[in-house]
Amino acid sequence: MIEYKNLVEKINNCTNCCLGYKRTKAVPGEGSFSSDIFLTGEAPGYYEDQSGKPFVGRAGQLLDKLLESINLSRKDVYITNLLKCRPPNNRDPLPDEINACGDYLKEQLEMISPKLIVTLGRYPLTRFLPNRTLANSRGRLMKYKNIPLFSVYHPAAGLRNGNIMAILKNDFTKIPEIMERLNVAKNKDIQTDSQLNLF
């Protein structure tokens, strides 16, 4: 896909924010271009910065297990982050950085055109739905524009806290049902948890 290669090249050469001067490697994202599921986390960490691949550290290994638990693998989904370059010491993304990187996420979303966005953690949720919080939205099916969006905890939070891990695992089990209902519903205007009577 030439369009996608061009996007990756743009990201790899990007210096739209200061993180572009500090990275080892940019981390554009990876997975299936024809995937129905688009997962996005917050930003690359140390191992992602070293390898140029998303979610390859401990949180990534957990994400692999969560996907396996619902009979999916990385090849079945597309995975990226809000920021394509690692913030120093894994600090939180700054609003200017999120804005500077925003067009890349938008382009990826347009290219993949998924049936479902899964946001991993607070930052991607509020990037798409600024008025939401994890507290009132986690585990719920919402919509970003016309695309159904499902919000879950970030795997790194699951690694830090056993209660969050249990909730995260349970939320992932809802994804196959959501996909099944979305495939049946087809009409994207009726895709919310209450309208699909999911939870």
The reply on whether position 171 binds ligand SF4 by CB under 6 A is: no
Residue whose structure tokens are 């894994």: 90
CB of 20 or CB of 155, closer to ligand SF4:
20
The reply on whether position 105 binds ligand SF4 by CB under 6 A is: no
The reply on whether position 84 binds ligand SF4 by CB under 6 A is: yes
The reply on whether position 52 binds ligand SF4 by CB under 6 A is: no
CB of 30 or CB of 36, closer to ligand SF4:
30
Report the nearest approach of ligand SF4 to the CB of residue 30 (Å): 15
Report the nearest approach of ligand SF4 to the CB of residue 66 (Å): 25
The reply on whether position 108 binds ligand SF4 by CB under 6 A is: no
The reply on whether position 35 binds ligand SF4 by CB under 6 A is: no
For the beta carbon of residue 146, count every other beta carbon within 10 angstroms.
8
- Report helix, strand or coil for 81: strand
Which of 7, 8, 26, 77 is close enough to bind ligand SF4 by CB under 6 A?
A: 26
Which of 37, 63, 79, 85 is close enough to bind ligand SF4 by CB under 6 A?
A: 85
Report the nearest approach of ligand SF4 to the CB of residue 97 (Å): 6
The reply on whether position 100 binds ligand SF4 by CB under 6 A is: yes
Spatial contact of 113 and 135, defined as CB atoms under 8 Å apart: no
The amino acid present at 59, given as its one-letter code, is: A
Give the span between the Cα atoms of 177 and 42, in whole angstroms: 25
Give the span between the Cα atoms of 4 and 44, in whole angstroms: 20
Spatial contact of 96 and 83, defined as CB atoms under 8 Å apart: no
Give the span between the Cα atoms of 83 and 41, in whole angstroms: 9
CA atoms within 13 A on the CB side of 104: 29
Binding segment for ligand SF4 (CB under 6 A), chosen from 10-18, 49-57, 59-67, 159-167, is 10-18
Two structure tokens written together for 149:
């969006």
- Point out which residues pair with 78 in neighbouring strands: 31, 38
Interacting residue ranges for ligand SF4, rule: CB under 6 A: 11, 14-17, 19-20, 26, 83-85, 97, 100-101
